[in-house]
Every structure is written in structure tokens, then in C-alpha cells.
Amino acid sequence: MSTSDDAKPELASLDRRHLLAYAAATAVTGSVLAVRPDSARAVVNLGETTSSVKSVSEALAAAQVSAWGGFSNGRIPAEVLTTVSATVAGSGFLRDDAARQFLSMSLAFRQALGRSLTITEGYRDFARQVDYWNRYQAGTGNLAAYPGTSNHGWGISCDFGSGVETAGTAAKRWMDANGPSYGWQPTGNGFSRPEPWHFDYSGTWTGPSNVNKNAKAEDVDTVIVRCTGPLSEYPVAGYTVLVGVRSLRHLSNIDMVNAMRVVGTPYYELDWVGFYNVLSSMGVPRSAIRADADYFWG
């Protein structure tokens, strides 16, 4: 399932002979994909969009609706994305706001389900989209979006694990019910071959808040996660807290923690196992845990 993708297609109506003919007619050279006009039938609904598309150019145009920051789909520099932990190598990135909401959602998931919410695949660069597309056409892969049209290529899609990949599980039910309140929509349910694991982040991008790595203030009010137990790096039970995304502080007393808890800021307490888990999921290195920790973006 890690190779799954998510065109939004009524692909049942797509016949494989046409698709293979289309594949043969399609040359992949960088971001330019040559397409024969008469192959249009083969790409019906291949955009990861809410409406059907009838050609590659329409799919590419539809994908532009989700464009942000002036970047090209699948070609977003890693330094403007936010690190998360994901199983598929090279996919552990999300758009900053999507990552922040993932953090809050994963903490709520942990409270409800008692385990971490894992990402199988997040960001999908252009080369991987081409790879999946080719495997899909060869009949060896799952549904694949046309290269350059996957929402994974904008850093706003996740394929989740932790049971979310299976319809009918408690984890999947929780995500369908609660994901949308964090902006994470269970769009994979609507694919012609449903992909329960696929979610799209629907929040509107509001700007490059993590392009400026020194913008600490913007990172303060997202979420506070306090470790309640001693950590091996700092073996005194204290007040080590993750504040927002990829930011870690050690505070010397509980009053300092409480001072950060403005009204409405989600607050969680985790034991050391859970705390390490959250640090890992947000790409905060263990080396950041120190008695004088004031870590931000490494």
C-alpha cells in the first residue's frame, strides 16, 4: 500500500488496452510529458481533484488549484517543508501548516487509540510520482495520479498506517470522524478503489511561516506536549516540553509551563515513551534534549 496512489478515478471504466497504448505514447522527460491527443480517454479522471478531468492538460491545470508558494508539484525544496517521520524513504515532509495540524491530530489520536499515528508516505517528489505511474500502467502498481498532479506532490497528503489503512477499524473510524476538524479529510474513501489510508489536508496555505527559520513566535501557540517522566538524556523528571513543531524547551518549573498555556492551546502530557515518539514523528533529534534545551529547527 505504500506504493498506492490516488487518482480519483472511475478507473473501472478505463480499459487496460487503451491505457497501455497511452503508456506507450507517453514519454517522460523531466517535467514534460508528451501526450498524444487521441489518448485523452486514457486519462479520464486521473487528476487528484474533486472534479473529473478529461486530459492530461486538464489534470495538470486542476492540480494547480492546490499549488502554493510558487513551487512546482513534486519539486518543492526540502528546506521549505516541515519534517515528519514517514515509512517511505524521502517522503517525510509536509507543508508547514499541514504538519502542525498533523501534530495536533496525532496527539489526539494517541489519546484516543493509545498508540502513535504513523505516516506511511507523505510528500511524493516528481520522480516517485513517475515511478508509481509507470508501475500502475505496467499493471504492477496501484492507482496512480498522473505525474505532477498528486496532492502528495504538494506536501498536503498523507497515507496513514496505525490501522487507518483498513476500513472498519477503530483507528479508521476515529480518523474519519476527527481528521476533518484538523483539516485532514478522508478523501481516499471516494476513490474508485477506496484508499482508506489516504487523507488530504484542506487548510488554506497562509504563507511561508517556516521559510524564516528564526520565526520562533509563530511556533509557540500550536501545541504543548510535556514529558512527565525522566528522559535518558536528562534523567531528572522535569518540564521538558515540545512547543509546536520542531521546537523543544526545558523549563525549570511548572509555572513556566503554565505561562505558555494560553487559552485554547492544546496541552498534552506524555510519559517518556510517548514523548520520544512525538519527537521522532516531528523530526526533533534526541540531541535536542538537554537541561538547557532551547531547540528550534536544529
Interacting residue ranges for Zn ion, rule: CB under 5 A? 6, 159, 198
Using DSSP, state whether 185 is helix, strand or coil: strand
- Residue with smaller CB distance to Zn ion, 151 or 222: 151
Of 149 and 240, which CB lies nearer to Zn ion in the complex structure?
149
Residue (110 or 198) nearer to Zn ion, CB: 198
Q: How far is the CB of 159 from Zn ion (least distance, A)?
A: 4
The CB-of-157 to Zn ion minimum distance in angstroms stands at 5
If the CB atoms of residues 172 and 226 are measured against Zn ion, the closer one turns out to be 172
Q: Which is nearer to Zn ion, 5 or 219 (CB)?
A: 5
In this structure, the number of other CB atoms found within 10 A of the CB of residue 163 comes to 21
Choice between 22 and 123, CB closer to Zn ion: 123
The minimum distance between CB 127 and Zn ion, in angstroms, equals 16
Q: From the CA atom positions of the chain, what is the Rg in Å?
A: 21
SS3 267: strand
Our CB check for Zn ion shows the closer of 7 and 245 to be 7
In whole angstroms, how close is the CB of 211 to Zn ion at the nearest point?
26
Which of 9, 244 has the CB closer to Zn ion?
9
Interhelix angle 96-113/272-281, nearest 10 degrees: 150
- How near is the Cβ of 142 to Zn ion at its closest, in Å? 9
Pseudo-torsion of CA 134, 29, 75, 70, nearest 10°?
-130
Name the β-bridge partners of 158. Answer: 199
Using CA atoms, how far apart are residues 269 and 229, in angstroms rounded to an integer?
10
If you write DSSP's letter for every residue of 69-102 in order, what string do you get?
TTPPTT---GGGSEE--BSSTT--EE-HHHHHHH
Taking the complex as a whole, the smallest distance from the CB of residue 81 to Zn ion amounts, in Å, to: 17
Residue type, 14: L
For residue 269, list its beta bridge partners: 226
Q: Which three cell numbers stand for residue 21?
A: 497504448
Q: How far is the CB of 196 from Zn ion (least distance, A)?
A: 11
DSSP 199-241: EEE-PPP---TTTSTT-GGGGTTS-EEEE-S-BTTB-S--EEE
Tell me which residue has its CB nearest to Zn ion: 198
3-state secondary structure of 268: strand
DSSP state of 157: E
Between strands 267-270 and 224-227, the pairing is parallel
Least distance to Zn ion from the beta carbon of 158, Å?
A: 7
